[in-house]
């Protein structure tokens, strides 16, 4: 338990908070910022002047306000000048993007990742190549202030080491370090689990804005969870928290899971379970195959509908357990779980009604991501922005040195 902050720490906090307001909330007048931050306008003016001097924001006269008197200047993030690199490694796809301060995707590359024979060096090579193409196209006065990546597995946050990626076959691969080296920008790459970053993105920019207790479930081949508790991402001792896919829901007679156990939520609800239950040919895999089952069920295909109902029942048990444990305001179904949830919402809701305690059922809503398929990528960008939003002037000085 430390003493309260020093004046220098408060100044840094206030600079970061002002920048975060315009980054997340968009351009805002000094008057509005003063109100939101609980500061007077002269302090806001001084903070804005520092951020303007560093090239992080600019001030503009607002469009005609229709009111008499001198209008309050509007503070706007320098979205074209200050950017981050964001990466998303799913089992089936690789994405790289250049995202401007304020959250605008300025440029973007994507490819399908082959499931076989595409290892660390290949993944890093593709992503670094995409980044180089995008950086080459930027103006000379632009500045890259960070890099972040979402990965479909368990990541050690301190150095971006992938500890375990059961559905991609990686164990202890130095993904963050290697990607940073191949980028050659002298920037570390912050890495986190994709579901964690989906949760972060939906909390800051999506369906979860204003909700400080939410669960984001991400379906890829497996099922990941990102959980916001009291406004902060649940990390746990090593940053591996949120592995809800390996909650055992079917202890007797459960399907084998990539983790080595049986009856995990991921084994009963993931891609393989759905496709097998729908009696799809083993060659059909991936996001499109999952969507085709949901579409077929919509069109009245009995096998597809039964498969979806069966999977939805297990999903409902998993969600009900999580709602009892976390008492969240919101559960968001992302990735392929978006379609699976939409196709089996009746089963999920039925389990909620049976298994969730009334006091926790009162306030929880079930939703799909406002950011759609980009939730994890947007989260990677937010992870990359986090340092400049904590300590704007130093990070910018370092990036432009």
Residues in contact with its own copies by the rule CB under 8 A: 1-5, 9-11, 13-14, 17, 20-21, 36-39, 43, 154, 163-164, 211, 213, 225, 227, 229-230, 232, 234-244, 246-252, 259, 261, 317, 320-322, 324-329, 354-360, 362-364
Q: Which is nearer to its own copies, 116 or 237 (CB)?
A: 237
Q: How far is the CB of 223 from its own copies (least distance, A)?
A: 12
Q: How far is the CB of 253 from its own copies (least distance, A)?
A: 8
Q: Which of 383, 331, 363, 376 is nearest to 152 (CA)?
A: 376
Q: Which of 352, 272, 362, 361 is nearest to 319 (CA)?
A: 352
Q: How far is the CB of 395 from its own copies (least distance, A)?
A: 18
Helices 194-205 & 375-390 angle (0-180, nearest 10):
70
Instruction: List beta partners, residue 335.
Output: 219
Q: Would the CA dihedral through 181, 183, 185, 191 be positive or negative?
A: negative
Q: How far is the CB of 257 from its own copies (least distance, A)?
A: 10
Q: Which is nearer to its own copies, 161 or 285 (CB)?
A: 161
Q: Token pair for residue 324?
A: 């009892």
Q: How far is the CB of 117 from its own copies (least distance, A)?
A: 25
Strands laid side by side in the 82-89 sheet = 105-112, 93-100, 82-89, 143-151, 189-193
Q: Which is nearer to its own copies, 9 or 119 (CB)?
A: 9
Q: Which is nearer to its own copies, 142 or 391 (CB)?
A: 391
Radius of gyration of the chain (CA): 23
DSSP state of 86: E
Q: Where are the beta strands (DSSP E) in 295-345?
A: 330-335
Q: Which is nearer to its own copies, 125 or 329 (CB)?
A: 329
Q: Which is nearer to its own copies, 4 or 282 (CB)?
A: 4
Sole residue written with tokens 């079930």: 366
Q: How far is the CB of 354 from its own copies (least distance, A)?
A: 6
Q: Which of 329, 348, 353 is nearest to 338 (CA)?
A: 348
């Amino acid at each position: 338990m430390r003493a309260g902050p020093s004046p220098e720490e408060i100044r840094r906090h206030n600079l970061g908070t002002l920048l975060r307001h315009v980054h997340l909330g968009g351009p805002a007048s000094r008057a509005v910022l003063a109100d939101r931050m609980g500061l007077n306008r002269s302090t806001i003016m001084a903070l804005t002047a520092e951020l303007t001097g560093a090239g992080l924001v600019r001030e503009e006269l607002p469009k005609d306000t229709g009111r008499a008197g001198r209008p309050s200047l509007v503070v706007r993030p320098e979205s074209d000048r200050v950017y981050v690199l964001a990466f998303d490694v799913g089992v089936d796809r690789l994405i790289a993007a250049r995202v401007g301060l304020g959250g605008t995707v300025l440029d973007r590359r994507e490819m399908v990742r082959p499931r076989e024979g595409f290892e660390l060096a290949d993944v890093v090579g593709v992503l670094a190549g995409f980044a180089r193409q995008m950086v080459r196209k930027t103006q000379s006065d632009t500045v890259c202030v960070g890099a972040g990546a979402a990965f479909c597995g368990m990541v050690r946050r301190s150095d971006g080491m992938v500890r375990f990626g059961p559905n991609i076959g990686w164990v202890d691969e130095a993904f963050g370090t290697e990607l940073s080296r191949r980028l050659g920008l002298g920037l570390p790459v912050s890495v986190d689990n994709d579901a964690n970053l989906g949760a972060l993105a939906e909390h800051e920019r999506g369906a979860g804005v204003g909700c400080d207790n939410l669960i984001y479930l991400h379906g890829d081949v497996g099922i990941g969870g990102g959980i916001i508790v009291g406004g902060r991402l649940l990390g746990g001792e090593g940053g591996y928290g949120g592995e809800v896919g390996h909650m055992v829901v079917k202890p007797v007679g459960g399907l084998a899971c990539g983790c080595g156990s049986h009856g995990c939520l991921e084994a009963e609800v993931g891609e393989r379970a759905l496709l097998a239950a729908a009696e799809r040919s083993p060659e059909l895999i991936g996001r499109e195959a999952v969507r085709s089952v949901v579409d077929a069920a919509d069109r009245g295909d009995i096998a597809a509908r039964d498969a979806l109902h069966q999977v939805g029942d297990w999903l409902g048990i998993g969600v009900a357990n999580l709602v009892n444990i976390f008492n969240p305001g919101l559960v968001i179904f992302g990735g392929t779980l978006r379609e699976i949830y939409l196709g089996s919402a009746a089963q999920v809701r039925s389990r909620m009604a049976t298994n969730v305690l009334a006091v926790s059922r009162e306030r929880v809503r079930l939703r799909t991501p406002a950011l759609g398929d980009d939730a994890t990528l947007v989260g990677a960008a937010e992870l990359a922005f986090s340092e400049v939003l904590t300590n704007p002037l130093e990070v910018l000085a370092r990036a432009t040195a």
